[in-house]
Amino acid sequence: MNTLSTRGRTWFDALRGTAPVLPGLPPSVLASDALLGDQPTRLVAVVPDPANPYRRARQGEVGLREGWALARTVRDAMAQDAHGPKRLLLAIVDVPSQAYGRREELLGIHLACAAAVDAYASARMHGHPVIALLVGAAMSGAFLAHGYQAHRILALDDAGVMVHAMGREAAARVTRRSVDELDQLGATNPPMSYRIADYARLGMLHDLIAGVSADAPAGQDVTNVRQSVLAALASIGVDETDLAVRLTSPAARIGRAASREVRERLAEQW
Amino acid sequence: MNTLRNAQSFIELGGRERARMVLDPGGQRELLGPFDRLMSPWLARQGIVPQSDDGVVIVKGTLDGHAAVVLAVESGFQGGSIGEVSGAKIAGTLELALRDCEAGRPVWPILLLETGGVRLQEANLGLAAIAEIQSAIIALRRHVPVVGVVAGLVGCFGGMSLVAALCSRLVLTRQARLGMNGPEVIEQEAGSEEFDARDRRLIWSLIGGEQRCAIGLADRLVDDDAAQVRSAVLQACTEARSGPARSESVAAYQDRIEGAASLENLDGPGLRVLWSPQVQQP
């Protein structure tokens, strides 16, 4: 990442409107309690903090601070709603990677990211609707920590929106291929592709939102995205606490055929 | 404890033997074994020979008479990497164990983790499976302890290190390494001044099993001895749950991370001192 992405903050600001940013979090984690339509929603985003004391997490990566702060803000919402209606949790996802660093490993970045996973999944299991809105990169461990435990995943149909286990250049180095070769492989192997349309073919995306400016959304763009989020919310079943929809969608029947077959045959043998 | 002549190394066993060693000897049954021939649909088309169990072994049985299922990652195949099939075997097994737990038939899930994380040839399907594995563990933890073991020599990295961190109890050997990003990846992404991946002492002082146990990021350190591993797993399964899981202990760890934020040169021994009064908690 040569330039810091501003998409996370852009969409966080666009969707919160006049709702204030919540205090008590590090500058790299933004949260706000806003209304989407009539729906009380906690918006959560990870953004670059050039002054982050953890230097390896200055470009919007999910690092030690970010993992624990995500867990904190999600669990705060759970505690506040423990005896009442459960607000929507909307993860605005623009995360280039987890933080790669010596201190990060020493201090347990794996646990920090697991804490965020745990918080989002626990919220889902305790009755909070959880939606991830992909407006930029959704990479690897960073996406696991921020978004991948959602009931529904939405993405802007834009070349800068991508889901992957490793960045393009790094993956090319590790697999000893050129970036071009990697892209060719992606064309015939959807799970390896960096294109969001190929990710959609795997069956885990609820909605690919077309015709929206990801970098500079106009009022109508924001309205369209808000409506997509509310439509996704309406599709979440009252007792739906798991991720089964990612295996039962029409696209998943083809895109994740082996994932389904393993489960069917396991159930027979269990 | 020092019956060296009789000690059976756990590390030198393959995944299948490890799984069988943890469970009671009688009544073991492997699910989706090699003869079921459920292989990766993605590797062959990339010129890699698939394996008939895709590198994950599932064995159902009992542990000290209690229903249990062991999931063992076979590090000998593609570095223990998680692809679509191997990931679905783990997630699907945990989902069935959850179903049994919810029906009042508790099953102890035990994960033997020896993995570099997502298999890059199946990138997004491996990542998706890991999210589902994590979800299942968090749901299961409300019913039964979920026990993870990292013995070595591969260690546990990538998205699967988060899986280890979500376990109720974590058993490590001194030969185990547990971290999110492997040393080579950090050096590649951040440079050798950030991390010299050839410096083995540095690696073990940061992410080795002994260090992880000393600072409270794992629960039990055992020797490379199958009997010790088995007894540590059994103890972890039977221990009464005490307080929140590590991954739920947000306030305590937020304080620790903020407290270390200005310590640029913090090293393994320094962290043991810094966190020592708190190692018992959480």
Which ipTM value was assigned to this complex? 0.97
Distances (CA, A) of B69 to A151, B54, B82: 28, 18, 19
- Token pair, residue A12, equals 């966080």
Find out whether B229 and B171 touch, Cβ atoms under 8 Å. yes
Which ranges of A17-95 would DSSP assign to H, the alpha helix? 64-80
Using CB atoms, which residue from A119, A148, A262 is nearest to B38? A262
Query: Cβ separation of B125 and A171 shorter than 8 Å?
Result: no
Q: Which of A30, A50, A85, A34 is nearest to A226 (CA)?
A: A34
Find out whether A136 and A92 touch, Cβ atoms under 8 Å. no
pLDDT in tens, A37-96: 999 999 999 999 999 999 999 999 999 999 999 999 999 999 999 999 999 999 999 999
**Which residues make Cβ contacts (< 8 Å) with residue B40, sequence separation at least 6?**
A258, B50, B51, B54, B83, B84, B85, B86, B122
Q: What is the pLDDT along chain A (270 residues), one digit of tens a residue?
A: 457 889 999 999 999 999 999 999 999 999 999 999 999 999 999 999 999 999 999 999 999 999 999 999 999 999 999 999 999 999 999 999 999 999 999 999 999 999 999 999 999 999 999 999 999 999 999 999 999 999 999 999 999 999 999 888 888 887 788 888 888 888 888 999 999 999 999 999 999 999 999 999 999 999 999 999 999 999 999 999 999 999 999 999 999 999 999 999 999 999
Query: Cβ separation of B194 and A108 shorter than 8 Å?
Result: no
Other Cβ atoms less than 10 A from the Cβ of B143: the count is: 16
**Which residues make Cβ contacts (< 8 Å) with residue A188, sequence separation at least 6?**
B45
Of all residues in chain B, what percent carry a pLDDT higher than 90? Answer: 84
| Residue at token pair 């949260």 | A31
How far does B70 lie from chain A, in Å, by closest CA? Answer: 13
B147-150 and B108-112 strand pairing: parallel
DSSP letter, residue B10: S
Query: Cβ separation of A98 and B180 shorter than 8 Å?
Result: yes
Query: Cβ separation of A100 and B84 shorter than 8 Å?
Result: no
How far does A17 lie from chain B, in Å, by closest CA? Answer: 29
Nearest residue on chain A to B262, alpha-carbon basis = A53
Under-70 pLDDT residues of chain B: 1-6, 240-241, 277-282
Backbone torsions φ then ψ of A61, nearest 5 degrees: -70, 155
Nearest residue on chain B to A106, alpha-carbon basis = B206
Give the CA count within 13 Å in the CB-facing half-sphere of A20. Answer: 3
DSSP letter, residue B6: G
Q: In A62-83, which positions are buried (b, 16+ CB within 10 angstroms) versus exposed (e)?
A: bbbbbbbbbbbbbbbbbeebee
What is the distance of C-alpha A22 from the center of its chain?
A: 20
Nearest residue on chain A to B137, alpha-carbon basis = A118
> In A, residues 168-227, which contact B (CB 8 Å cutoff)?
170-171, 173-175, 185, 188-193, 199, 202, 204
Distances (CA, A) of A134 to A35, A192, A237, A251, B45: 19, 18, 22, 19, 30
Q: What is the reported pLDDT for B279?
A: 47
Using CB atoms, which residue from B89, B120, B261 is nearest to A166? B120
A39-46 and A88-95 strand pairing: parallel
Q: Taken in order B93, B182, B131, B45, is the CA torsion positive or negative?
A: negative
Q: Please indicate, yes or no, whether the overall pTM of this predicted structure exceeds 0.95.
A: yes
What is the distance of C-alpha A211 from the center of its chain?
A: 20
Cα–Cα dist A30/A13, whole Å = 10
